[in-house]
Homo-oligomer: A and B are copies of this chain.
Amino acid sequence: MSSNSIGQRYAFTSFGESHGKCIGSVIDGCPAGLELEEKDIQKMLDLRRPGQSIITTQRKEEDKVEIISGVFRGYTTGAPITMVIWNQDQRSHDYENLTLRPRPGHSDYPAHVKYDGFNDYRGGGRFSGRLTATFVMAGAIAKKLLSQTIRVDTYSYTCQVGKIKMNSHDIPKAENSIYSNEVRCPDTKMAEKMRAVILAAKRSGDSVGGVIESITTNLPVGLGEPIFGSLESDLSKALFSIPAVKGVEFGSGFYGSTLYGSQNNDEFITKNGKIVTRTNNAGGILGGLSTGMPLVLRVAFKPASSIAKKQRTVDIKTKRPVSLIVQGRHDPCVVPRAPPVVDSLVSIVLVDHALRAGFIPPVIR
């Protein structure tokens, strides 16, 4: 399988460039019989769209999805579903001067070497954060499939911006308040503080990092496969495809590595006739398989690399030092736009495993 595809049964291929004609997604393996129209996808794309608030990039992009194959009379047909977003509002000239002066923290340098300069560097080309919209197109369908067939639901939210961190366990029904604020943090008090940190970074021409937490409820027991098909393996592979992601952890994660087994093990109990665990340090995964407890993971985003501050770099040809101020309208913090992206990738992986394990049939009747 090629590097721009993921999934065995719900096989998703991403194509397109940031400032080319379009970006798009092909899904091969979506069951026939799912009711689907463009607005199902558009809704989720809108949550990721730039230009929505003062804390995100001011680029205005409609990001309007068009389904060009695989849907007939309002239902999926079992054939590949292809979706495109036609690009608009590119300001490619903003990037022209970057070709030989690699931006610190960007793919410019290794991409130039790898492709010997043939890569489309405009706006980051194939490496742009814009490509995460292709994940959302594929993810919106995956999310709908999971929800309609086995009532599995994923919700992701900002749980940290810079050094400001919410305590996720204090917020009951977090899923309902995520989109009540621009930061997409269900703890509205912490959201205010995070917003302030982002605005301060923006004012100083800087950017700031953060963390997304993602919860999936109602998973059946036994999703995932041993060894390289573990849920952690497949989820992390998907999540690290998001530009700017530099860490992924499940359940107690890195913190759990400081604990004793007697602290970190989750004891089994019976609740309403169902076997569950008292705690959930495993994040809903044991041996790579779902336990039936909520799937909990966290994704670390580095601060966006494109900053307005002057930075030092090197001219690739002359190898002489040069200084650089990155132009363009960039996100001071990419985290508030990332929850639908994380939702999408988690859903894409889970629907693939649900199809592999027979929890979702090849035709939805």
Decide: B5 and A363 in contact? CB cutoff 8 A: no
Residues in chain B near residue A79, CB distance under 8 A:
4, 15, 17, 119-120, 125-126, 226
Decide if B24 touches A69 in the complex (CB within 8 Å).
yes
Provide the A260-292 mask, 1 if CB < 8 A to any CB of B, else 0: 111111111110010101000111001111111
Whether B32 pairs with A253 at a CB distance below 8 angstroms is no
A77 to B119, CA, bound (A): 4
In-complex Cβ contact of A206 among B6, B20, B118, B261 (8 A): B261
On chain B, the residues within 8 Å of A76 by CB distance are 118
Chain B residues with CB under 8 Å of A306's CB are 261
A111 at the interface (CB under 8 A from B): yes
CB-CB < 8 A to A110: which residues of B? Answer: 221-222, 224, 286-287, 289-292
The complex is assembled from copies of this chain, and their number is: 4
Bound Cα distance from A118 to B222, whole angstroms: 13
Is B256 within 8 A of A302, CB to CB? yes
The answer to the question of A78 belonging to the interface, with a C-beta cut-off of 8 Å to chain B, is yes
Q: Are B302 and A226 in contact (CB under 8 A)?
A: no
Chain A: number of interface residues, binned into ranges: 35 or more
Q: Are the CB atoms of A313 and B267 closer together than 8 Å?
A: yes
Cα of A335 to Cα of B108 in the assembled complex, Å? 37
Of chain B, the residue at the smallest CB distance from A365 is: B116
Q: Are A163 and B16 in contact (CB-based, < 8 A)?
A: no
A42 within 8 A of B: no
A270 to chain B, nearest CB (A): 5
A288 and B222 contacting across the interface, CB-CB below 8 Å: no
Residues of B within 8 Å of A108, CB to CB, are 286
A173 within 8 A of B: no
A247 to B255, CA, bound (A): 9
Residues of B within 8 A of A288 (CB): 107, 127, 240-241
B314 near A261 with CB under 8 A, answer no
**Selected contact of A265 from candidates B311, B320, B321, CB within 8 Å:** B311
Q: Give the residues in chain B near A185, CB-CB below 8 Å.
A: none
- Closest beta carbon of chain B to A233's beta carbon, Å: 4
Give the CA-CA distance A98 to B267 in the complex, in Å.
14
Flag whether A245 is at the interface (Cβ < 8 A): yes
Q: How far is the CA of A286 from the CA of B245 in the complex (A)?
A: 10
The residues of A with any CB-CB pair to B shorter than 8 Å are 1-6, 8-9, 11, 13-17, 20-24, 26, 28-29, 32-33, 68-70, 72, 75-80, 82, 84, 102, 104-111, 113-116, 118-120, 122, 125-127, 131, 160, 162-163, 201, 206-211, 221-222, 224-230, 232-234, 236-238, 240-241, 243, 245-254, 256-270, 273, 275, 277, 281-283, 286-292, 300-307, 309, 311-314, 316, 319-321, 356-358, 361-363, 365
**What are some 12 contacts across the A-B interface (CB < 8 A)?**
A3-B225, A14-B80, A23-B69, A102-B268, A104-B277, A113-B222, A115-B363, A160-B257, A209-B258, A253-B300, A261-B304, A267-B312
Closest 10 CB pairs of A and B: A107-B287, A3-B229, A114-B222, A247-B249, A3-B225, A2-B28, A207-B261, A110-B289, A209-B257, A2-B11
